Each structure stands twice: as C-alpha cells, then as structure tokens.
Amino acid sequence: MDAVRADNLRKTFGTVTAVDDVSIKIPEGSIFGFLGPNGAGKTTTIRMITGVLIPDSGSVRIFGTDVRRDPLTAKMKMGVIPENGTVYSDLTAVQNVLLTGKFYGMDKTVRERRAEEIIARLGLSERKNDIVRTFSKGMRQRISIASAIIHSPPLLILDEPTTGLDVYSRRLVIDTIRQMNSEGSTVLLTTHNIEEANALCSDISIINSGKIVATGSPEKLKKTFDTSRYIEISFDRTVGPDIFSAPGINRAEPWGDKWRIYSDDPDIAVKHLVHVAEREKLAFVSIRTSNPTLEEAFVKLTEGA
C-alpha cells in the first residue's frame, strides 16, 4: 500500500495558483523528496497532505485513509514538522515532547521512556529541563522533530527540515530522518537544497510554479537531463579526430592537450577508445568521464520560470 497517495491536488489563493494538479504516490518505506525553488508550492502541498488546508479539488490518502473523511485516523499515522516548527516556548524541552506523546494517547511510562531516548538521540539531554524560549533555532527544530516522532509514526512529514540550521543541528536532523526510515517510517520531506535531496531521497518530485515537472530517483533524473556527457582523454602522442569516429560517438573535440569525446552511451565510447588505443598502439595518459549532476537537471527543469 502507498504511504501517501495524493490525486490532482489544486489550490489557488486569489489569482495565484499555488498548487496546480499535483499527484504523488509514495511507496511505503521510501524517503520521498519534494524539491523546488521558493514559492514553488511545496508548503501548500504539504499542508493539504497533512489535512490542515482544504484543497480546491483533489484528494489525499494516508495508508489508505482519506484525510478529509477521516482526519483523526490519518493524523494518528503521521508525525509532522511544519515549515517553522511547532514548539511551546514556555514549556521545557521534555515537557514539549511528552505533551505530544499525550496527544497521541501514549501510556505514561512508554512516553517517558521514549521521550528520554529521542531527546538523547537529538543531542538535547543536557538541556531537557530548560525552557524552550532560550533555545537556538537548531535546538527548537530538534525539539519539533522529537515531538513529531514520539509515537514512532509510520509516516514522517518534514517541510524544509534543515533550512537555516547550524551544521551540528543539520547533521542530527538528517541522521534522525535516516534512522526513522531504517526503523520503518516512510518519509516525505521538502527541500530547496539539491544536495540534500540527492543524499537523502530514494525518489524525488521536482515542483515548479505549482506543477510537478519530473519524478524519479536522483540517478534517473540526472540521466534524463544529461545531454553533455563526455570522456576526456589524452594519449602519449598526437592523434587526429578521425580515429574517434564510430557508431555511438557523437563528436570529438580537441580540448587543450586532450580530446573530448561526446557520447550518449559512455560504455560504448570507452570500449571503442580502448579498441582504438590497442589498434593504434597508443597509451592512455589520462581519462576522465564527466558526471551529470542533479543540479543540471534541476536548472533545466526550473529555468525560465
């Protein structure tokens, strides 16, 4: 069963179409990322998925439960960390975490044990009895996450969980996301940070101007938009361009003291180059392949918007 299934979500604010026909399916067990620039519609989509914002049209199911028809059942299955977190400033760290445990109907001894464990995991044991008002942004975000995961939700939803955090908090947040996933939680997160999406997510939807423009694994997205793959080589003596011509090689370009060989299929190109080198008794001095980046894919998909 899909952990999240959203069909044809749409939301307009006045004249702005914030979310324009967005559908996603998130298989159980995955870490799914919504990647897009600011204003793309990520938060609006998350708010509809978590049931805090009613869509103009479309529907959302969380492990099969319709969020509009049965919000309580759906919400029991999620832990949500909204864009700016939610912490009670006048409570201590541990009180914040215990309070959500209580909301979720957890038994007192269970929630106390779990709160201790999560607070330690998030590096807050020493500050657990301090009032949250005095905490840094990173510490508040860690409390927000601790509160959201106290009941070990099968679905964890985080809206830009690391934006604006210090390096230490960021690492703890990412480690916690990974750990929750390895313990069985499906994760849905949003980010405008391509490297983060690449490092964390098994699947990504790129969203721009309210629309999903591509979906797939980071590797697949890199490949789809890879138009500029080449192999850069040099031999121990000067060669002409004609030795490179072969099926599967698009063109060869002199590049300083090297050659750049453009190909849609690096496997064919490398095998051809080895063959040529043997035939012509050339020795490789250097060989390097270009790697497509997710950044290139992202820029191509969102440029001009």
Q: Is the dihedral of CA 183, 184, 185, 188 positive or negative?
A: positive
43 contacts Mg ion (rule: CB under 5 A): yes
Interacting residue with ligand ADP among 40, 124, 150, 261 (CB under 6 A): 40
Position 140, amino acid: R
Shortest Å, Cβ 18 to ligand ADP: 3
State residue 64 phi and psi, 5-degree precision: 85, -10
How close are the terminal C-alpha atoms of the chain, in Å?
A: 35
What are the tokens at 181? 């996933």
Residues in contact with ligand ADP, shown as a per-residue x/- string from 10 to 39 under the rule CB under 6 A: ---x--x-x-----------------x-xx
**Stretch binding Mg ion (CB under 5 A), from 36-44, 162-170, 219-227, 275-283:** 36-44
58 and 17 in contact (C-beta within 8 Å)?
no
Shortest Å, Cβ 130 to ligand ADP: 31
For Mg ion, give the closer residue by CB, 22 or 277. Answer: 22
44 contacts ligand ADP (rule: CB under 6 A): yes
β-pairing verdict for 57-62 and 2-13: antiparallel
152 and 75 in contact (C-beta within 8 Å)?
no
What are the tokens at 277? 């080198």
C-alpha span between 129 and 92 (Å, rounded):
5
Residue appearing with tokens 């250097």: 286
Interacting residue with ligand ADP among 22, 26, 30, 43 (CB under 6 A): 43
For ligand ADP, give the closer residue by CB, 8 or 136. Answer: 8
C-alpha span between 77 and 104 (Å, rounded):
10
Shortest Å, Cβ 46 to Mg ion: 8
Q: Which partner from the list Mg ion, ligand ADP, none does 36 bind, CB cut-off 5 to 8 Å by kind?
A: ligand ADP
Q: Is the dihedral of CA 187, 6, 208, 221 positive or negative?
A: positive
42 contacts ligand ADP (rule: CB under 6 A): yes
For Mg ion, give the closer residue by CB, 43 or 205. Answer: 43
Shortest Å, Cβ 230 to Mg ion: 37
Shortest Å, Cβ 233 to Mg ion: 45
Shortest Å, Cβ 159 to Mg ion: 6
Q: Which residues bind ligand ADP (CB under 6 A)?
A: 13, 16, 18, 36, 38-44
